[in-house]
Amino acid sequence: MLSIGVDIGGTKIAAGVVDEEGRIIASAQRRTPAQDPELLEQAVADAVRELREVHEVVGVGIGAAGFVGADRRTVVFAANLAWRDRHLADHVEALVDLPVVVENDANAAGWAEFRFGPAADADTMLMMTVGTGLGGAVVIDGRLVRGSGGFAGEIAHMTAVPGGQWCGCGNRGCLEQYTSGTALVRGVRAEAAADDPLMAPVLAAASGDLAAIDGPLISRLAAEGDPGCLRHMRELGRWLGTGAASIAAVLDPEIIVVGGGVADAGDILLDAARDGYARTLTARTHRRLAPFVQASTGNRAGMIGAADLAREL
């Protein structure tokens, strides 16, 4: 039984035909008309029609960045796309004549890791996605946790430091401000601008241009053993582990899966996260520590998870 998963990003729409083993057997892409909901839905439908010309599918799952209602059909709000209480599933269904389910993109990615990734043998999982921002997904007893309004799993906006760094959500001290690619770059650039000697190698690698210091450069230098970049990557990891320990006090996950572009740093990040988790977890000497593992489905996760959720319809 095949289904189509659609991952809507800020610049591109990626769609794929996915089988029951989580394998993508065909794919299509379209540009994202981010500021026009109707054109965006037409682009999604166009990609779906292209895939249906060759493959018979039972439904469509859409992973959307934003707050998705508990009905799994409505995008209540999206910061970077022109959706405000948009009945996305209704509109796409009318265009493609297939059942459609909508899921938050982080939830869709988390579901892919739970079904087909390193959490496949677990019952309870916490997914933390460290990219430009911080995403999250929670599975309890084999069920994706959505909450009463569909907004569960927004771990980025837990308060980590009361009165701390301003966050784009309007609050201060959110976890995302300390454990995200944006936070990593901000910290390195600030120390490089202050002429910290430890930042001299990264500044040299950026040809003296602070704006050229980005996440991939920091990750590469950290992997090469640069002390300044290693320090910042490990600090991010410790924040990640500390945040996970706070979540574990409530949810007690069996496994913690870390994805996103920053997670490509591997054990440089994960070892620091494990340390931060072990140091701050409540009752840590009397309980099993959940392992931190790297996600396996990469940038295909949204498509794979959304497609699998569509088979539940």
Q: Please give the Cα distance from 21 to 145 (Å, whole number).
A: 22
Residues 101 and 145 in one domain: no
- Residue-number span of the structural domain to which 269 is assigned: 121-295
Residues 38 and 132 in one domain: no
CA distances to 44, 57, 165, 272, 307 from 183, in Å = 32, 41, 10, 16, 32
Q: Please give the Cα distance from 300 to 6 (Å, whole number).
A: 10
Mean pLDDT for 69-80 is 89
Residues 60 and 151 in one domain: no
| pLDDT above 70 as % of the chain | 100
pLDDT on residue 245: 97
Residues 106 and 138 in one domain: no
Residues 133 and 257 in one domain: yes
Q: Is the separation of the CB atoms in 30 and 13 below 8 Å? A: yes
pLDDT on residue 284: 87
Please write the tens of the pLDDT for every residue from 99-144. Answer: 999 999 999 999 999 999 999 999 999 999 999 899 999 999 999 9
CA 204, 205, 210, 213 dihedral sign is negative
Residues 95 and 136 in one domain: no
Q: Supply the CATH number for residue 236's domain.
A: 3.30.420.40
Please write the tens of the pLDDT for every residue from 154-210. Answer: 999 999 999 999 998 889 999 999 999 999 999 999 999 999 999 999 999 999 999
- The per-residue pLDDT of the chain, averaged, comes to 95
Residues 104 and 144 in one domain: no
Residues 11 and 89 in one domain: yes
How many domains, the chain? 2
